[in-house]
Amino acid sequence: MGQAIWLDFISRELLESGELRRLVREGVTGVTSNPTIFQKAISSGSTYDDQIRQLAREGADARAIYTALATRDITEAADTLRPVYDETQGRDGYVSIEVDPALAHDTDGTLAEARRWFQSIDRPNVMIKVPATPEGVPAVQTLIAEGVNVNVTLIFAIDTYEQVMSAYIEGLRARQAAGKPLSTVGSVASFFVSRVDTLVDKLLDQHADAGDTSFGGVRGQAAIANARIAYDRFKHVFEGEGFAALRRARARVQRPLWASTSTKNPAYPDTKYVDALIGPDTVNTLPPATLEAARDHAMPARTIDMDVDRAYAVIE
């Protein structure tokens, strides 16, 4: 169907047990992480204890310890996925690590930390997660121009997504003007899905409690509609003439990545945000439980561009 499946999880146990290698053999082509995932991994079990003790003896503070632990895991994961990166000529095989969320509203701080991660891990298939905040988007443009792979994260709104695509394209143009290759730069735009339904459904419940049931027909539909509109905008931008010159220069499209695709509402099917968002030039990053559910009973069919007119109507 042209969709890549990435794993939204990382841990030392996943790496040392060979589980990630198994998942890669079975078709997983990337890994995403965030500080919350690392926090859960580090606090579960004892696989990090020896390294933590050694770092503490050396006088490392909490931040330095986290950096060392994350660097080791991301580097090993990147090495595990390197064959995928090579076989797909840089289309897949990426491992994402996020800049400190405290820097979300600090462009210069984001740039400094993104460069630091990219240089210290020193793998061509590491991707730095940068939030799509007003301060993060300019950093995306600069990083792309510098050749840093970027996973633009925390995208919820279509207008924000338009800004993200523009930043990517302007970054590529700056890189091209500097005479640097475009084919070596990868980027995805992470559109958060289930959390949209969580918020919208809550608002719909409030309307219903107040006696207004006119919006009841869109319950559980806003997230998928929002993502389908995003894909429609993606096609308009990257299949259009505005990207043609960059495409001829071997630039890659910035694929939409569907994030937050585990269902938060137990009343919804566990593969709701998998089945409805399948299509070419997309990525879906799945936590382990959702990945297993998808392998067991997902419905593999192109669905991302179904009922697009209805999607616009739902959001409007």
Q: Which helix (H) or strand (E) holds 97?
A: strand 94-98
Residue carrying structure tokens 């970054």 = 171
User: Around Cβ 118, how many Cβ atoms within 10 Å?
Assistant: 21
Distance in angstroms (rounded) separating the CA atoms of residues 105 and 116: 18
Catalytic residues: 129
* Alpha-carbon torsion (178, 181, 183, 185), positive or negative: negative
* Closest among 209, 5, 9 to 96, alpha carbons compared: 9
Q: Could you tell me the CA-to-CA distances from 265 to 151, 268, 296, 314 in Å, in that order?
A: 27, 6, 20, 19
Q: Could you tell me the CA-to-CA distances from 136 to 132, 150, 204, 275 in Å, in that order?
A: 5, 11, 31, 31
**Residue 102: Cβ-neighbour burial (10 angstroms; 0-12, 13-18, 19+):** exposed
**Residue 72: Cβ-neighbour burial (10 angstroms; 0-12, 13-18, 19+):** middle
Cα-Cα end-to-end distance for the chain = 29
